[in-house]
Amino acid sequence: MTIDVEDYFQVSAFAPHIDRASWPARECRVEANVERILVILEEGKALATFFTLGWIAERYPAMVRKIVAAGHELASHGYSHLRASDQSRADFTDDIVRSKALLEDIGSQRVQGYRAPSFSIGPANLWALAALHEAGYRYSSSIYPIAHDHYGMPDAPRFAFYPHGTDGLLEVPITTVRLLRRNLPAGGGGYFRLLPYALSRTLMRRVNREDGQPTIFYFHPWELDPGQPRPAGVSLKSRFRHYVNLDRMERRIRALTRDFAWDRMDRIFLGRP
Which amino acid makes up residue 208? N
> Helices 61-69 and 30-43 sit at what angle, rounded to 10 degrees?
10
How far CA 273 is from CA of 52, 210, 263, in Å, comes to: 17, 28, 11
Could you tell me which residue, 15 or 142, shows the higher pLDDT?
A: 142
pLDDT over 90 (residue 151) = no
Confidence at residue 177, expressed as pLDDT on a 0 to 100 scale:
95
Could you tell me which residue, 25 or 13, shows the higher pLDDT?
A: 25
Q: What is the mean pLDDT of residues 109-133?
A: 95
Q: What is the mean pLDDT of residues 123-133?
A: 94
Could you tell me the pLDDT band of residue 268, with boundaries at 50, 70 and 90? very high
Could you tell me which residue, 129 or 189, shows the higher pLDDT?
A: 129
Could you tell me the pLDDT band of residue 272, with boundaries at 50, 70 and 90? low
198-218 pLDDT, tens digit per residue, is 999 999 999 999 999 999 999
Confidence at residue 243, expressed as pLDDT on a 0 to 100 scale:
85
Quick one: which of 76, 8, 70 has its CA closest to 44?
A: 70
Could you tell me the pLDDT band of residue 180, with boundaries at 50, 70 and 90? confident
Q: What is the mean pLDDT of residues 91-106?
A: 98
Domain containing 25 equals 2-269
Rounded-to-integer distance, Cα 272 and Cα 171, Å? 17
Confidence at residue 213, expressed as pLDDT on a 0 to 100 scale:
96
Contact 82, 95 (CB under 8 A): yes
222-261 pLDDT, tens digit per residue, is 999 999 999 888 888 888 888 899 999 999 999 999 999 9
Rounded-to-integer distance, Cα 201 and Cα 175, Å? 12
Residue 203's Cβ-count burial label (10 Å; 0-12, 13-18, 19+) is buried
Could you tell me the pLDDT band of residue 154, with boundaries at 50, 70 and 90? confident
**3-state DSSP assignment of residue 139:** strand
Rounded-to-integer distance, Cα 266 and Cα 273, Å? 6
**3-state DSSP assignment of residue 110:** coil
Confidence at residue 15, expressed as pLDDT on a 0 to 100 scale:
87
Quick one: which of 93, 157, 177 has its CA closest to 130?
A: 93
To the question of pTM greater than 0.85 for the whole model, the response is yes
pLDDT over 70 (residue 57) = yes
Confidence at residue 16, expressed as pLDDT on a 0 to 100 scale:
86
pLDDT over 70 (residue 188) = yes
What sign for the dihedral angle of Cα 16, 20, 22, 27? positive
58-68 pLDDT, tens digit per residue, is 999 999 999 99
Residue 8 phi, psi (nearest 5):
-55, -35
75-98 pLDDT, tens digit per residue, is 999 999 999 999 999 999 999 999
* Tally of domains in the chain: 1
Rounded-to-integer distance, Cα 234 and Cα 69, Å? 38
- Rg from Cα positions in the chain: 17
Confidence at residue 131, expressed as pLDDT on a 0 to 100 scale:
96
DSSP 117: G
CATH of the domain at 9: 3.20.20.370
Find the helix or strand (DSSP H, E) in which 204 lies.
helix 197-206
Rounded-to-integer distance, Cα 195 and Cα 238, Å? 17
Could you tell me which residue, 217 or 164, shows the higher pLDDT?
A: 217
Rounded-to-integer distance, Cα 139 and Cα 49, Å? 12
> What is the number of helices (H) and of strands (E) in the chain?
10, 9
Confidence at residue 232, expressed as pLDDT on a 0 to 100 scale:
87
Average pLDDT over the chain reads 94
Confidence at residue 23, expressed as pLDDT on a 0 to 100 scale:
95
DSSP 30: H
